């Protein structure tokens, strides 16, 4: 019985880790490359959730025979819509505020409020939920007292696939080479012929698209409301800062450590106390490692 509880706790920690990683990956890329503190990142997650909800409504009405696959399509729709929104946001808004971190923070915070109100006007103030596809219903029964929900297993698998895709994009593609060059030395990258403005736009859009995928995954765990993204925004920033800005490895290890710690403390105490203790531990560690556990060495 004790072993079953331990496995369930570790599995729950992996579930939280998956959502945090999907959210933090986009934030790490954007914050690491451009130094933009995007306070509307949570609303981009909510946008991805709502796009998945809209996809489910479309399939229910026009393609009911294919309802078993709407979620896969919803993930793609969430990515495309948030990617396009992020690209336009960077071209029309963010690019005018580079090297002005306080202005960017306040402007994106204002944008988050606007998006929340927009969600209320379009989808209503009440939370909405999507139907769980049949092949993700139920649980994988390992033993008499141990069952792992299939939807959470799917989210963990999706996180690993997305993480591998991001790694291949950044380290095995021309665009990834350009992004890493701009991250390490923007001036030299521009002198070498790289269009840094285009790299900024694509990178920001990619970060927004990853937030959309996180939102799509979130619909399998809970209902979606206008402020759902804000619930994970603080935890996401903690993951990014604790792991080390610009460090993908740090983001993964930080998300895993925070996820497992928080779930374990929730079992021993309460949810609010677990968050408070986790934050306190992070603050103490950042006192000794102010640049994060795996801070990348870059030239500015």
Write out pLDDT tens, residues 229-249: 887 787 788 888 888 766 777
Instruction: List alpha helices for the chain, DSSP H.
Output: 2-34, 41-62, 70-92, 101-123, 150-171, 174-184, 186-191, 196-218, 230-243, 248-268, 271-288
Q: Report whether pLDDT(209) > 90.
A: yes
Q: Is 12 in contact with 263 (CB distance < 8 Å)?
A: yes
pLDDT class for 32, splitting at 50, 70, 90? low
Mean pLDDT of the chain: 84
The residue extents of the domains of the chain are: 13-132+148-225
Average pLDDT value for residue range 5-27 = 78
Q: Please check whether residue 209 is in contact with residue 90, taking contact to mean a CB–CB distance below 8 angstroms.
A: no
- Lowest model confidence (mean pLDDT) among 54-68, 88-102, 132-146, 183-197: 132-146
State residue 300's pLDDT score: 46
Give ∠ CA 125-126-130 in degrees, rounded to 5: 125
Residue 138 and residue 157: Cα distance in Å, rounded? 17
What whole-number distance in Å separates Cα of residue 58 and Cα of residue 66? 11
User: In this predicted structure, what is the pLDDT of residue 269?
Assistant: 79
Q: Is the dihedral of CA 230, 234, 237, 239 positive or negative?
A: negative
11 band by pLDDT with thresholds 50, 70 and 90: confident
pLDDT value at residue 180: 82
210 against 298, higher pLDDT: 210
For residue 56, pLDDT beyond 90: yes
Count other C-beta atoms under 10 Å from residue 87's C-beta: 17
Q: Token pair of 4, please?
A: 């079953």
pLDDT at 12: 76
**The pLDDT of residue 150:** 86
User: Burial code of 95-124, b = ≥16 C-beta within 10 A, e = fewer?
Assistant: eebeeeeeebeebbeebbeebbeebeeebe
Q: Give residue-wise pLDDT tens across range 77-118.
A: 999 999 999 999 999 888 888 778 788 888 999 999 999 999
């Amino acid at each position: 019985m004790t072993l079953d509880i331990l496995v369930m706790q570790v599995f729950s920690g992996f579930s939280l880790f998956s959502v945090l990683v999907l959210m933090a990956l986009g934030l790490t890329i954007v914050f690491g490359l451009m130094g933009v503190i995007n306070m509307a990142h949570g609303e981009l997650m909510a946008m991805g959730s709502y796009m998945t909800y809209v996809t489910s409504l479309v399939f229910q009405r026009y393609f009911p025979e294919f309802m078993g696959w709407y979620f896969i399509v919803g993930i793609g729709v969430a990515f495309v819509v948030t990617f396009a929104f992020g690209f336009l946001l960077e071209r029309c808004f963010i690019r005018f505020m580079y090297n002005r971190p306080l202005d960017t923070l306040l402007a994106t915070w204002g944008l988050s409020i606007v998006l929340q109100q927009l969600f209320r006007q379009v989808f209503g103030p009440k939370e909405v939920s999507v139907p769980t596809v049949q092949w993700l219903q139920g649980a994988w029964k390992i033993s008499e007292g141990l069952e792992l929900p299939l939807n959470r297993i799917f989210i963990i698998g999706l996180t690993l696939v997305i993480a591998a895709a991001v790694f291949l994009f950044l380290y095995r593609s021309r665009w990834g080479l350009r992004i890493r060059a701009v991250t390490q030395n923007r001036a030299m990258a521009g002198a070498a012929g790289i269009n840094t403005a285009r790299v900024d736009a694509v990178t920001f859009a990619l970060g927004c698209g990853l937030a959309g995928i996180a939102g799509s995954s979130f619909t399998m765990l809970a209902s979606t409301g206008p402020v759902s993204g804000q619930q994970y925004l603080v935890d996401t920033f903690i993951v990014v800062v604790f792991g080390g800005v610009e460090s993908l490895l740090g983001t993964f290890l930080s998300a895993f450590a925070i996820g497992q710690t928080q779930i374990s403390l929730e079992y021993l105490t309460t949810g609010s106390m677990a968050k408070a203790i986790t934050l306190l531990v992070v603050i103490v560690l950042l006192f000794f490692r102010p640049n994060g556990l795996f801070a990348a060495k870059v030239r500015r």
